[in-house]
Structure 1
Amino acid sequence: MAAKIFIDGEHGTTGLQIRERLAERGDLTLLSLPVEDRRDAAKRAALLQEADIAILCLPDDAAREAVSLAKGEGTRFIDASTAHRTAEDWVYGFAEMTEGQAQRIAAAEKVANVGCYAIGSVAMLRPLTEAEILPRDYPVTINAVSGYSGGGKQMIAQMEDPSRDDAITANHFAYALTLAHKHLPEIMMHGGVERKPIFTPAVGRFAQGMLVNLPLHLDLLSGKPDLATIHAALSDHYAGQEHVTVAPLGEASALPRLDAEAMTGTDELRIHVFGTDGEGQVNLVAALDNLGKGASGSAVQNLDLMLRG
């Protein structure tokens, strides 16, 4: 019997991509709410309660409401908002994050899908904190750039229609300048760090793609590791994984540049270890599609794990 899936918020950027990915699958029955009924609580509640798994592509408050509307009905959830990413009774939806995480997702009733900047950050931090190479009180700095699709329909329209009064004309801009970005709590919790990172995100004039930079001083890390030790820790952590890979050191050292769109159209997250031996510094860079492994790709991966679980 086909599992019933309801994408609450299917008309938004992430919801549309998830629906496109699931549309031709014969093992699923997609429940749908017309756009004109998206604010009708009774109709939403009926579909949320009917679904085997509901995928929430909503603002935080609406996601919390959706969970309450299906309370007691046995519906399982994947929440793509930030509402539940640090909640104790939700499983974090990054299957490759640590040993057993995929199994925890498969068995979960409630899965909090990843944030795009956060998954890039956590993917680099978690192996190093687990291996006790990166002290948990290390003064982490993260710099990142994303395609404008991460800002949703409004930003897409502002970027792609220069005739609009609110058009964004900048080719590249930094934001969250108060150092209080919404992804910080999940980066800290799931990355295993105790000191709030300095996080500077930016948006470029390209639709999809992302680079997340994590620069580190090697003499401040436990054991004063070299580049090869850092690379080995990351490679060992993700050995055998399909969607998270670590570029060989030789490949990384030969790159003259790294394109923010390198992973666009894929569900892969690729980590690079950059630096010069003996110089005491390393720059870890995660490349991903912000709507792939950073959003809809992870949601579908989590869905498949839950269906198999």
Structure 2
Amino acid sequence: MNTHALPSAFIDGEAGTTGLGIRARLERLPVHVRSIAPELRKDPEARREMMASVDLVVLCLPDAAARDAVAMIDGLRAQGGHAPRVLDASTAFRTAPGWVYGFPEMRPEQAQAIRTATHVTNPGCYPTGIIGLLHPLVAAGLVPADYPVTVNAVSGYSGGGRAMIEAHERDGGPAFELYGLSLQHKHLPEATVYSGLSRAPVFVPSVGHFPQGMIVSIPLHLDLLPKGTRGADLHAALVAHYRGSDRISVPDACASLCADTLAGTDRMELRVHVNEEHRQAVLTARLDNLGKGASGAAIQNIALMLGLETPSPV
């Protein structure tokens, strides 16, 4: 096969956790992945030349560096030359005008919007669970937009970057750690906007001593929802929204959940756990923070943007 006849992509920041995950998963797609020599990865001219030669640039960079890279790509477009489409994995553009949010299952029209967009922003791992649970329920009128949402979530330590990974794997790390207690987590803006909420949730993230996996949980008082709402209504709305999805399922409630069950996959499970006697419910999302929560989502978006068939989830 002539690889140069394939659509081409360049991962800017391919040595990071997300970049490595995307590179590995791209082996499942007919894409010619181009790379810059390690010593030239920070050379602006080498990066500009590479960007001008490919169909798609995937940015796996810190926010400031991602903004600089997008300015470089937009500069190519302004000069009338070839400019690649861009998929950004940072938080820099998650709610920015002109960018399409890369959660294909969020709305019926979202996948098509991703297919035609020049600028797509890959979702965060926590927001994938939060939005996956709340957007269909808010859109259906079952959860009011001004509901006082509280989100508790635990992630594997691989989501914390190289320093946290090294600390856990070298020294053992803490068994469980709350963080983000300033209540200003960087994922809150996208979680609020794309869930359809009018007020930001109280979000309490945490890290457990396991590499990959995630559980997002959202408690609800049913009596604060529209009159007569039952847990079965919430479950039915989620089932209807995700019917036909090969990545997102809505199983029945269970007595307990283990956070790392879906590690290594690109799938997400959404559940409604309910006690009608007490009029309480807990929504849960279980996923791999590096799968559907990062690299797996990126592969979905890359396939859509390049007109390729999305590979089946692992």
TM-score interval for Structure 1 and Structure 2 normalised by the shorter chain: over 0.9
Give 1:37 deviation, angstroms.
2.2
Moved more, 284-293 or 236-245: 236-245
Distance 1:134 1:202 in 2: 25
Give 1:33 deviation, angstroms.
1.8
CA contact (8 A) 1:2 1:28 kept: yes
Q: Say how many residue pairs are matched.
A: 298
* RMSD (Å), alpha carbons: 1.2
Give the alignment partner of residue 117 of structure 2, picking from 73, 90, 108.
108
Give the alignment partner of residue 128 of structure 1, picking from 137, 144, 147.
137
The one-letter amino acid paired with 1:123 is: G
The aligned counterpart of 1:15 is: 19
CA contact (8 A) 1:105 1:302 kept: yes
The aligned counterpart of 2:225 is: 221
The aligned counterpart of 1:267 is: 266
Moved more, 40-49 or 232-241: 40-49
Give the alignment partner of residue 248 of structure 2, picking from 244, 260, 268.
244
Distance 1:112 1:223 in 2: 37
- Partner of 1:46, secondary structure, is helix
Give 1:189 deviation, angstroms.
0.6
Q: Point out 4+ residue stretches in structure 1 off by more than 4 angstroms.
A: none
Give the alignment partner of residue 202 of structure 1, picking from 197, 202, 206.
206
The one-letter amino acid paired with 2:6 is: A
Distance 1:122 1:147 in 2: 19
Give 1:36 deviation, angstroms.
2.8
Overall identity of the aligned pairs, in %: 48
- Partner of 1:201, secondary structure, is strand
Give a deviation string over 1:174-230, Cα, whole Å, max 9, x none. 000110000000001100001111000000010000000011111111133111111
CA contact (8 A) 2:212 2:288 kept: yes
Give 1:24 deviation, angstroms.
6.0
Give 1:21 deviation, angstroms.
1.2
1:36-55 mapped onto 2 (5 Å cutoff): 36-55=39-58
CA contact (8 A) 2:51 2:83 kept: no
The one-letter amino acid paired with 1:136 is: A
State yes or no: 1:161 paired with 2:170.
Answer: yes
Distance 1:224 1:172 in 2: 38
CA contact (8 A) 2:173 2:209 kept: no
1:225-236 mapped onto 2 (5 Å cutoff): 225-236=229-240
The aligned counterpart of 2:184 is: 180
Give a deviation string over 1:97-116, Cα, whole Å, max 9, x none. 01111111111111100100
Give the alignment partner of residue 70 of structure 1, picking from 68, 73, 81.
73
Give the alignment partner of residue 37 of structure 2, picking from 31, 34, 39.
34
In the superposition, the TM-score normalised over structure 2's length comes to: 0.92
Distance 1:152 1:225 in 2: 41
- Partner of 2:161, secondary structure, is helix
CA contact (8 A) 1:133 1:223 kept: no
The aligned counterpart of 1:165 is: none
Distance 2:145 2:111 in 1: 24
- Partner of 1:23, secondary structure, is helix
CA contact (8 A) 1:141 1:214 kept: yes
The aligned counterpart of 1:280 is: 279
Moved more, 79-88 or 29-38: 29-38
- In structure 2, runs of 5+ residues without a counterpart are 309-314
CA contact (8 A) 2:138 2:196 kept: yes
The aligned counterpart of 2:311 is: none
CA contact (8 A) 2:102 2:114 kept: yes
- Partner of 1:225, secondary structure, is coil
State yes or no: 1:86 paired with 2:90.
Answer: no
